[in-house]
Amino acid sequence: MAVKRMIEAIREALDEEMARDPRVIVLGEDVGVKGGVFVATRGLIEKYGPDRVIDTPLSESGIVGVAIGAAMNGLRPVAEIQFADFIHPAMDQIINEAARIRYRSNGAWGCPVVVRAPYGAGIRGGLYHSQSVESFFAHVPGLKVVIPSTPADAKGLLKSAIRDEDPVIFLEPKRGYRAIQGEVPDGDWVVPIGPARIAREGDRLTAVAYGMMLHLALQAAEQVAGEGIEVEVIDLRTLAPLDRSTILASVRKTGRLLVVHEDNRTLGMGAEVAALVAEEALYDLDAPVRRVTMPDLPATPFAAVLEDAVLPDTQRIAQAMRDLARE
Amino acid sequence: MLRTAKEATASKSVDVALEAIGAERLLAMYRIMVLSRALDERMWIVQRQGKVPFVITAQGQEAAQVGAAMALRPGHDVVLPYYRDMTLMLALGMTPRELMLNVFSRAEDPNSGGRQMPAHFSLPRLRVLTGSSPVGTQIPHAAGAALASRLRGEDSVTFCSFGEGATSTGDFHEGVNFAAVLQLPVIFFCQNNRYAISVPQRRQMAVESVAARAAAYGIEGVSVDGQDPVAVYQVVSQAVERARAGAGPTLIEAVTYRYVPHTSDDDDRVYRSRDEVDQSRRRDPIPLLRDRLVEAGLWDDAREQALREEVARIVDDATAYAEQAPPPDPATVARHLFAEPAAES
Ligand SMILES: Cc1ncc(C[n+]2csc(CCOP(=O)(O)OP(=O)(O)O)c2C)c(N)n1
């Protein structure tokens, strides 16, 4: 086992899958010679050539549409959208095409594409390099939505996504590309899509998070642990399909639920997790559900003071944990 | 006896047609066009009878579609049709029963098992990729399918069909540009029937011909008379050759006309005169081709009569078969959202 950065784990997954399966191709803007703006694909064009590592025209709908056609015709395309903020032109291709191909053909055709995109705030990226887009996709039946929070998961889940028979939206917390390091098991390390992970055990309250916020939630949990509040932290890993049983089992144990995400509040994942718990475990709750999220704003503004004013941080999460534990 | 100039041209074109595709294929084209028209008319009847909720069909565009289909290798070349491509599908090998099962939304409908509106074609055995309703989205898929074929070293081409309205979408631009930049083996086949529902071509584009759009992508653009199946066959065949030789995509415009409303929900009297429709029916591709066959000595009244009887039997059989076929089972409504475990590799 070696310690790796998240971006390295992602590159390894792409490299190993391309070596393992000649049907795997990578396409997107600047993914070839430059290796992508975050260098996730660096070195791949030298190894696998320009036929499999394709610098595309600047056209998001085209990138995803081409990936879909290639997938129906036998390839395993991994499409990179340079930033999640620019995925919107491809929404029609993702929602009306990729997500519906198996259903609309009554099972005759499948669409094994992966759409990778760096997402999230905290890098001073302003309105158009900071967005969280996961809820748009988690709302759509026929899509799997995956967000890793550790290098091991990034590698293992990306491998699963590439091997999956169906479309996977793979969102990478770009603030963690270099900031998050961790051990990645050697060999063909694969993490199944679906199951959430208990990132920290505790009995006083359940905190559900994913992506970069998982790390802030863990830091906050360490802070309040010193005050005698043991928080169980769940890393969702797969947002769709949601691992309901892991969430419910934890909430039944702790009786308290906090959801943390940097996506907007309204109709975010927190709303879904809260609804799930309200439907299935209301009488196990000892306190109302809480959410720490971005306020409903277009995205984090550029100026540092403005971004810091709205993006959830460890202090705010820790305070919410204390408040919830006391209720 | 002296021949008029017009006749001379006509007989020359028969000769050219015969030389280009041979009597057998010319006759097959005619048969498919007549069968398609009869099925099409029956579809409107069952819709008007209230037996099915909706139809969208091909009347007027049969020659363009059969000409294109005959230039392809069914089951070998990849095809992305649009909702008006019933004749194309018949010519490639979808059966009349399958087409009627589709219109009746039966469980056995191979296109979608009753999940999609009629005419959203899909058939793996013919490499017909599933399509949707949003206009133009199949155009980048075609580029992707061609990319896959080329990467695997197949010599198949990808054929993608759409109306002139679709050429105004972003996906048309993105898909054609992608195929052009990567020199992919694709034939972009636009059936310009001069209306996108009610919107005429002049409100769709500021160029005279869809084929003119090709110049913007640095690819070959060809405009052809879509009422002449032989001319279409020749143009598509050349595009197939070019694609297979690695010379990249071609944009073809087949100029045609639709004789019926956009769909069974449309009233075309609102946006085009009866006079205009009647005028265009003078170039109905079915009698045009019949005249050529007669002139070439390949056709006569007896053969016409026999064909009409055969077609009526086929249409009756397909309709009866589909009408009696069971509807989809509501218990299956949640299936195929994702691959079923047994199917996973
Ligand atoms: C993106 C999108 N917008 C609108 C529609 C509704 N619509 C269906 S067909 C059509 C006209 C298409 O015209 P054209 O591409 O010329 O094909 P035609 O029907 O004339 O054969 C429209 C506007 C649609 N299906 N998809």
DSSP code string of A241-281: TT-HHHHHHHHHHHS-EEEEEEEESTTSHHHHHHHHHHHHH
pLDDT at B330: 97
Residue whose C-alpha is closest to residue B227's, from B3, B25, B61 = B61
Q: For residue B5, is pLDDT > 60?
A: no
Tell me how far the alpha carbon of residue B102 lies from the centroid of ligand 1, in angstroms: 20
Mind listing the pLDDT tens digit for each residue in A159-212?
999 999 999 999 999 999 999 999 999 999 999 999 999 999 999 999 999 999
Alpha helices in chain A (DSSP H): 6-20, 44-48, 60-72, 91-92, 101-104, 134-138, 151-163, 176-179, 212-225, 244-254, 269-281, 304-310, 314-326
Q: Which of B129, B158, B181 sits opposite A109 (nearest CB)?
A: B129
Mean pLDDT, residues B224-238 taken together: 97
Q: Which residue has the tokens 């080329």?
A: B150
Q: Which of B114, B142, B337 sits opposite A69 (nearest CB)?
A: B142
Answer whether B175 sits within 8 Å of A65, measured CB to CB: yes
B63 neighbors B228 (Cβ within 8 angstroms): yes
Does the active-site annotation cover A129? yes
pLDDT at B6: 42
Tell me how far the alpha carbon of residue B166 lies from the centroid of ligand 1, in angstroms: 7
Answer whether A109 sits within 8 Å of B110, measured CB to CB: no
> A-chain residues within 8 Å CB-CB of B183?
none
Token representation of residue A265: 């509040």
User: What's the rounded Cα separation, in Å, for the pair B291 and B293?
Assistant: 5
Q: Within 13 Å and on the Cβ side, how many CA atoms surround A75?
A: 30
Mean pLDDT, residues A316-324 taken together: 98
Q: Buried b vs exposed e over A150-184: b needs ≥16 C-beta within 10 Å?
A: bbbbbbbbbbbbbbbbbbbbbbbbbbbbeebebeb
pLDDT at B205: 97
Could you tell me how many CB contacts below 8 A there are between chain A and chain B? 151
> Which residues 49-78 in chain B show a CB within 8 A of chain A?
78
> B-chain residues within 8 Å CB-CB of A107?
335-336, 340, 343
One-character DSSP codes across A193-221 = SS--EEEE--SSEEEEE-THHHHHHHHHH
- Cα R_g (chain B), whole angstroms: 20
A276 neighbors A301 (Cβ within 8 angstroms): no
Nearest CA to ligand 1 atom 11: B196
Q: Which residue has the tokens 């920290």?
A: A200
Arithmetic mean of pLDDT over chain A: 98
Nearest chain A residue to B118 by CA distance is A104
Mind listing the pLDDT tens digit for each residue in A262-289?
999 999 999 999 999 999 999 999 999 9
Nearest ligand 1 atom to the CA of B192 is 16
> DSSP code of A88?
G
ipTM: 0.94
> DSSP code of B93?
T
Mean pLDDT, residues B225-232 taken together: 97
Confidence of residue B221 (pLDDT cuts 50, 70, 90): very high
Q: Which residue has the tokens 């309204």?
A: A266
Q: For residue B3, is pLDDT > 90?
A: no
Mind listing the pLDDT tens digit for each residue in B73-84?
999 999 999 999
Answer whether B337 sits within 8 Å of A52, measured CB to CB: no
Alpha helices in B104-158 (DSSP H): 138-151
Answer whether B124 sits within 8 Å of A103, measured CB to CB: no
Distance from CA of B304 to the nearest CA of A (A): 38
pLDDT at B121: 98
pLDDT at B13: 66
The count of residues in chain B is: 345
Distance from CA of B340 to the nearest CA of A (A): 9
User: What's the rounded Cα separation, in Å, for the pair B199 and B271?
Assistant: 8
pLDDT at B12: 54
Q: For residue B7, is pLDDT > 50?
A: no
pTM listed for this prediction: 0.95
3-state secondary structure of B19: helix
Answer whether A141 sits within 8 Å of B335, measured CB to CB: no
Cβ–Cβ contact B80 with A under 8 A:
yes
User: What's the rounded Cα separation, in Å, for the pair B9 and A146?
Assistant: 65
Give the Å distances, CA to CA, from B335 to A142, A243, B122, B330: 11, 20, 18, 10
Distance from CA of B208 to the nearest CA of A (A): 26
Q: For residue B344, is pLDDT > 90?
A: no
pLDDT at B17: 73
Answer whether B140 sits within 8 Å of A69, measured CB to CB: yes
3-state secondary structure of B158: strand
Q: Residues with beta carbon inside 6 Å of ligand 1? A: B 84, 133-135, 162-166, 193, 195-197, 262
Q: Which of A65, A71, A110 sits opposite B137 (nearest CB)?
A: A65
pLDDT at B287: 98
Tell me how far the alpha carbon of residue B132 lies from the centroid of ligand 1, in angstroms: 11
Distance from CA of A308 to the nearest CA of B (A): 37
Token representation of residue A262: 């940097």
Q: For residue B333, is pLDDT > 70?
A: yes
Mind listing the pLDDT tens digit for each residue in B243-264?
999 999 999 999 999 999 999 9
Cβ–Cβ contact A81 with B under 8 A:
no
A183 neighbors A2 (Cβ within 8 angstroms): yes
Which residue type does B189 have?
F
Q: For residue A232, is pLDDT > 70?
A: yes
pLDDT at A48: 98
Q: What is the dihedral of CA A269, A272, A273, A277, to 10 degrees?
A: 170
User: What's the rounded Cα separation, in Å, for the pair B159 and B64?
Assistant: 13
Nearest chain B residue to A107 by CA distance is B336
Token representation of residue B61: 């565009």
User: What's the rounded Cα separation, in Å, for the pair A105 and B110?
Assistant: 8
Q: Which of B112, B147, B336 sits opposite A66 (nearest CB)?
A: B147
Nearest chain A residue to B180 by CA distance is A57
> DSSP code of A183?
E
Q: For residue B285, is pLDDT > 60?
A: yes
Mean pLDDT, residues A135-159 taken together: 98
User: What's the rounded Cα separation, in Å, for the pair A40 and A158?
Assistant: 12
A66 neighbors A90 (Cβ within 8 angstroms): no
Cross-strand bridge partners of residue A24: A76
Answer whether B130 sits within 8 Å of A108, measured CB to CB: yes
Confidence of residue B1 (pLDDT cuts 50, 70, 90): very low
Q: For residue A319, is pLDDT > 80?
A: yes
> B-chain residues within 8 Å CB-CB of A48?
none
Mean pLDDT, residues B147-175 taken together: 98
Confidence of residue B2 (pLDDT cuts 50, 70, 90): very low
Cross-strand bridge partners of residue A79: A27, A115
A321 neighbors A207 (Cβ within 8 angstroms): yes
Show which residues of B are catalytic.
258, 262, 271
Mind listing the pLDDT tens digit for each residue in B304-318?
999 999 999 999 999
Answer whether A62 sits within 8 Å of B178, measured CB to CB: yes
